[in-house]
Structure 1
């Protein structure tokens, strides 16, 4: 585990709140994958791919992709069943990883700088562990890697749905009775530690996206089945066999940056340090007062960590030291504190 540092804030573009980047549907292997593209603003920009979390979409990367456009030519995809992508046949980590692999192969842009948040982080770990030829660097933001104490996650309240036959139908019935405004507020409260950091424009965009997804007949089933697949992957990771995400993480050879929020209410904050300890060439930064979607809540801090990481990865890495823990408003290098991990063991 290496020390994560922060790029100087004044070298980033001036603060602005761009609208979601333009998107387009692409038919791939018989179904539509929706992709948003953030055009590069620098001449030597390298390809990047952004993968969202459970219930999210490619819009979750709007701010970060814009801040990194001088270095990265970004694409953000909607996973099957989410955003504006058509539903998939299966909603498991391996099936989502297969779609990401197929997308990279289809576009011919690999190897890419791969970013994943939450569910997208577990998908990115699967891709990087199995297809190292497609991944230049890996950035994981609150990755949903295995932990067994679901009392440490608001998602634990969904576990009874998995034991109910046709639980997705019950979920659809409940979702239909929640006003989009209420759902948007609940989602923000679950994912964000300080709601004052979210602009009115981003709130309006989130509300509009919820309205659109509620019109999709497949969405509730996709959500519940994906959650079931995620929980199954957690359980398999502590059993013998080849399906362990922790074993895949230990096999990753790409330089990796792990970013976690200490106020994360969906993924146990201990997962971040454990992930960085398991992945051989890793850096860790934990953000005080930040929740589950740091790229939405504090995009400039995440961009500064990513730019410093990308620069270091292009040159030589520093000597191994402990993880960094910083507040979201700090402008200097990340300060190092002794790390302690307790969320799972590598197989």
Structure 2
């Protein structure tokens, strides 16, 4: 039985009622504190498999405003800058100083990169870092169609728009496109995770706003200003980060190393969680 405990706290910043999930390190000796930022349309559950594989670290994961158990902000836009301002205020409140390790996945990699360009951390780990604009990637058509879909659903009558955005058919389609594993158990796990949490957004307008932010920026906008030692972990089949663009991104950092995992795309937090956690532990212990 795991001895790890979970503490859920409530915070208030920029009009959002923010829920923060803190997984305390198991045992007496902690290897450090991780401050983690989840991806678009996810919440803290998305990093659960990685967190479980890092029991000797305390991991602090807020549900970003507008997603999971956190309400939308009323005093900031739901974009990279807005989320960065909120995480800065939260880090100050929680006392997450320069010894803290920052982690970001997918859209969270962009937010984490901006945060690391403005605030000192012990290290930065980016999982499936966004290395090319979605509208310029191989998924440009899908990104455009999805953008139109979100904007349309935000304007439809509430009952219709909500039903479309929270539909199982939509989440299953995303699971089918994004999952690369051929293991039936893993494919079922991803599908169930998306069904359970993909619809956990606070409002249709917040969702559309955050999606526009997720496709309009990359980690490369902030990497040249980051001096923190950085670990990038990508998937060889990631449509939002090809090996070539990931290497270009790596070279833009002052000090970064890149690990590309085989047989996986944009869902390394699900499909390759043990490998990701092992790489993170090795990196964090090599200070």
Shorter-chain TM-score above 0.5: yes
Select which of 138, 141, 157 maps to 2:127: 141
Determine if contact 2:166/2:198 at 8 Å carries over to the other structure.
no
Equivalence for 1:82: 67
The more displaced of 115-124 and 87-96 is 87-96
- Structure 1 gap segments, 5+ residues each: 1-13, 235-244, 315-347
TM-score (norm 1): 0.71
How far apart, CA to CA, are the structure 2 residues paired with 1:124 and 1:179?
Answer: 27
How far apart, CA to CA, are the structure 2 residues paired with 1:138 and 1:230?
Answer: 19
**Off by >6 Å, runs of 4+ in structure 1:** none
How far apart, CA to CA, are the structure 2 residues paired with 1:67 and 1:97?
Answer: 27
Determine if contact 1:93/1:122 at 8 Å carries over to the other structure.
yes
Q: 1:148-173, CA deviations, whole angstroms, 9 ceiling, x for partnerless residues?
A: 524335424224458x6x76325974
Cα RMSD after superposing both structures:
3.1
- Matching of residues 124-139 of structure 1 within 5 Å: 124-131=112-119, 133=120, 135-139=121-125
Determine if contact 1:150/1:156 at 8 Å carries over to the other structure.
no
Equivalence for 1:185: 172
Select which of 288, 294, 303 maps to 2:277: 303
Equivalence for 1:335: none
Counterpart of 1:116 in 2: which secondary structure? strand
- Structure 2 gap segments, 5+ residues each: none
How far apart, CA to CA, are the structure 2 residues paired with 1:174 and 1:271?
Answer: 36
Deviation at 1:64, TM superposition (A): 0.6
Select which of 36, 50, 65 maps to 2:21: 36
Equivalence for 1:256: 230
How far apart, CA to CA, are the structure 2 residues paired with 1:182 and 1:294?
Answer: 23
The alignment status of 1:107 with 2:94, answered yes or no, reads yes
TM-score (norm 2): 0.84
Determine if contact 1:294/1:302 at 8 Å carries over to the other structure.
yes
How far apart, CA to CA, are the structure 2 residues paired with 1:47 and 1:171?
Answer: 44
How far apart, CA to CA, are the structure 2 residues paired with 1:22 and 1:191?
Answer: 31
Task: Report which structure shows greater RCO (CA 8 Å, sep ≥6).
Answer: 1
Counterpart of 1:151 in 2: which secondary structure? coil
CA change 1:203–1:35 in 2 (3 A) is: farther
- Matching of residues 146-185 of structure 1 within 5 Å: 146-147=132-133, 149-153=136-140, 154-160=142-148, 168-170=154-156, 173-174=160-161, 176-177=163-164, 180-185=167-172
Determine if contact 1:188/1:195 at 8 Å carries over to the other structure.
no
CA change 1:260–1:35 in 2 (3 A) is: same
- Matching of residues 166-245 of structure 1 within 5 Å: 168-170=154-156, 173-174=160-161, 176-177=163-164, 180-194=167-181, 196=183, 198=186, 203-210=191-198, 213=200, 216=202, 218=203, 220-233=204-217
Q: How many residues align?
A: 279
CA change 1:201–1:142 in 2 (3 A) is: closer
Deviation at 1:22, TM superposition (A): 5.7
Q: 1:127-157, CA deviations, whole angstroms, 9 ceiling, x for partnerless residues?
A: 01111x2x11111111224435243354242
How far apart, CA to CA, are the structure 1 residues paired with 2:245 and 2:22?
Answer: 30
Equivalence for 1:333: none
How far apart, CA to CA, are the structure 1 residues paired with 2:47 and 2:225?
Answer: 27
The more displaced of 30-39 and 296-305 is 30-39
